[in-house]
């Protein structure tokens, strides 16, 4: 099999080929590293590479295959790790000059479990500084470019991860989502991303911050790959007080390709936020396809508040306290678009923080009853397609002036309510930029989210679409 073909195998397919000795871990790793050599200079997706270490691990993995050892589910599969996730012995910068040369001594739980499952890390992917803005850009490495059009950003903060997966630099990438940071890059880069229920994947924050918002997960090109990874990375952890017990069944079993009988609601403008016309029409067509799959679909207009300001209050308070000891040093090196966050944080009081926490509960009181009637809620993942590099997104959407970062208004609520939510690619705008549709599930119900996404993918597969930068 040619290297270009290996790069676009799913993790599930690649693991099966390795077990059958039709592809070796060395071949798989070499193919992915060659792809990075060819494309990463334009994309800036992977910011730290570990070629020597990676190739040695691939040789060790190949020896185990040839010995006939019992192999865990991701044996020999090359992956990338977001640069917010600690990796023992591998530089972890958190997108900040403060940690430019930081090499952790331990893995975070998501990394530890992927390694135990046999995955091989090929590098660390670009992010925003401490994940604070929804783009992949920082003062240390610069911006990650969208593989569908390099004038645009990947979205963030898991943007380098999304670009790497979209372009065949590993079928799986770790990601995290405190306000859309899995789903926005998935939408902008045309791949699949699931933000699990809070606590489904354990996390030990470093530095402190995002503790009541950040959900850990994966980016992939297929729904089944995400389900396979979720089987590996989910489950309780002694150091995460919010971590959840195992669900008792495989998430892969949710990927039946059948969603008949499920009831879903469709709301195009969550919180009355404006949506670009092209995005609206692409998502509306995708919703009609769910009806063709046998789902019952109701169109709703929901009178819901904008949770963005409350989420930002929580983020700013936690970030300011988490970095208090290094505040003066941080102010000298901070990424310019993030700089204004510090004085804004200084203006906040405990009244503001408590009101922000109450806002999330009041929101749940309004939206929670919806899930007594419906299995899921569909919305656009974002009201826009990818933002131009060098910007934080539009100030006007469909002729209406909007507050900064209001385009996160469809994804932030699921972080505040802790519900599982996914973005699946459903089409393109007239510029050829991907459009994502969001599926928000009931609390603790990743199963139905995966079931719906799998059914859509089976009827309208997307993994064969490759960004122009990849070539034939």
Is 395 considered catalytic here? no
Beta-bridge mates of residue 87? 90
141 to each of 45, 167, 370, how far by Cα in Å?
10, 19, 43
The residue from 10, 82, 158, 195 that is catalytic is 82
Contacts of 181 (CB under 8 A, 6+ apart): 131, 134, 156, 157, 158, 175
Cα–Cα dist 354/445, whole Å = 28
Number of alpha carbons in the 13 Å side-chain half-sphere of residue 66: 10
Question: Given the DSSP bridges, would you call strands 120-125 and 46-49 parallel, antiparallel or unpaired?
Answer: antiparallel
Is 82 considered catalytic here? yes
Is 181 considered catalytic here? yes
Nearest to 220 by CA among 207, 233, 206, 239: 233
The residue from 128, 181, 234, 423 that is catalytic is 181
Cα–Cα dist 465/147, whole Å = 12
Whats the size of the chain, residue-wise?
472
Residue located via tokens 């799986």:
172
Q: In Å, how far from its chain's centre is CA 171?
A: 13
Nearest to 417 by CA among 352, 353, 350, 365: 365
The residue from 157, 176, 220, 243 that is catalytic is 157
Residue located via tokens 């300011």:
320
Number of alpha carbons in the 13 Å side-chain half-sphere of residue 410: 31
Say if residues 64 and 222 touch (Cβ distance below 8 Å). no
Which residues are catalytically annotated?
82, 157, 181
């Amino acid at each position: 099999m040619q290297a270009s073909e290996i790069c676009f195998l799913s993790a599930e397919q690649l693991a099966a080929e390795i077990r059958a000795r039709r592809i070796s871990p060395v071949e798989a790793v070499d193919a992915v590293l060659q792809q990075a050599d060819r494309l990463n200079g334009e994309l800036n997706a992977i910011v730290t590479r570990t070629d020597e270490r990676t190739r040695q691990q691939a040789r060790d993995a190949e020896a185990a295959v040839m010995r006939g050892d019992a192999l865990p589910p991701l044996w020999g599969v090359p992956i990338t790790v977001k640069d917010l996730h600690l990796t023992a012995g591998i530089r972890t910068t958190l997108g900040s000059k403060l940690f430019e040369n930081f090499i952790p001594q331990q893995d975070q739980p998501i990394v530890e479990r992927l390694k135990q499952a046999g995955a091989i890390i090929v590098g660390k992917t670009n992010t925003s500084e401490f994940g604070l803005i929804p783009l992949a850009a920082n003062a240390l490495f610069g911006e990650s470019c969208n593989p569908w059009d390099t004038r645009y950003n990947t979205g963030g903060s898991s943007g380098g991860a999304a670009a790497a997966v979209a372009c065949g630099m590993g079928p799986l990438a770790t990601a995290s989502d405190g306000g859309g940071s899995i789903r926005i890059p998935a939408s902008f880069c045309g791949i699949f991303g699931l933000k699990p229920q809070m606590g489904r994947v354990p996390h030990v924050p470093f530095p402190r911050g995002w503790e009541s918002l950040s959900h850990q997960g994966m980016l992939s090109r297929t729904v089944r790959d995400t389900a396979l990874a979720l089987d590996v990375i989910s489950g309780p952890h002694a150091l995460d007080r919010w971590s959840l017990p195992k669900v008792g069944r495989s998430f892969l079993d949710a990927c039946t390709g059948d969603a008949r009988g499920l009831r879903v609601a469709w709301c195009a403008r969550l919180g009355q936020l404006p949506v670009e016309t092209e995005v609206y029409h692409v998502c509306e067509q995708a919703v009609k396809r769910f009806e063709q799959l046998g789902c019952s679909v109701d169109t709703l207009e929901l009178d819901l508040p904008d949770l963005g300001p409350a989420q930002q209050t929580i983020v700013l308070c936690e970030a300011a306290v988490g970095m208090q000891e290094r505040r003066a040093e941080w102010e000298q090196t901070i990424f310019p678009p993030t700089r204004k966050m510090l004085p804004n944080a200084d203006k906040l009081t405990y009244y503001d923080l408590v009101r922000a926490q109450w806002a999330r509960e009041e929101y749940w009181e309004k939206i929670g009853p919806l899930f007594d009637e419906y299995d899921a809620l569909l919305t656009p993942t974002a009201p826009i397609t990818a933002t131009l590099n060098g910007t934080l997104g539009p100030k006007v959407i469909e002729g209406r002036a909007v507050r900064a970062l209001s385009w996160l208004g469809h994804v932030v609520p699921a972080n505040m309510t802790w519900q599982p939510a996914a973005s699946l690619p459903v089409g393109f705008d007239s510029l050829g930029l991907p459009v994502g549709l969001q599926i928000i599930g009931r609390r603790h119900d990743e199963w139905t989210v995966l079931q719906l996404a799998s059914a859509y993918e089976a009827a309208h597969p997307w993994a064969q679409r490759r960004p122009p930068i990849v070539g034939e």
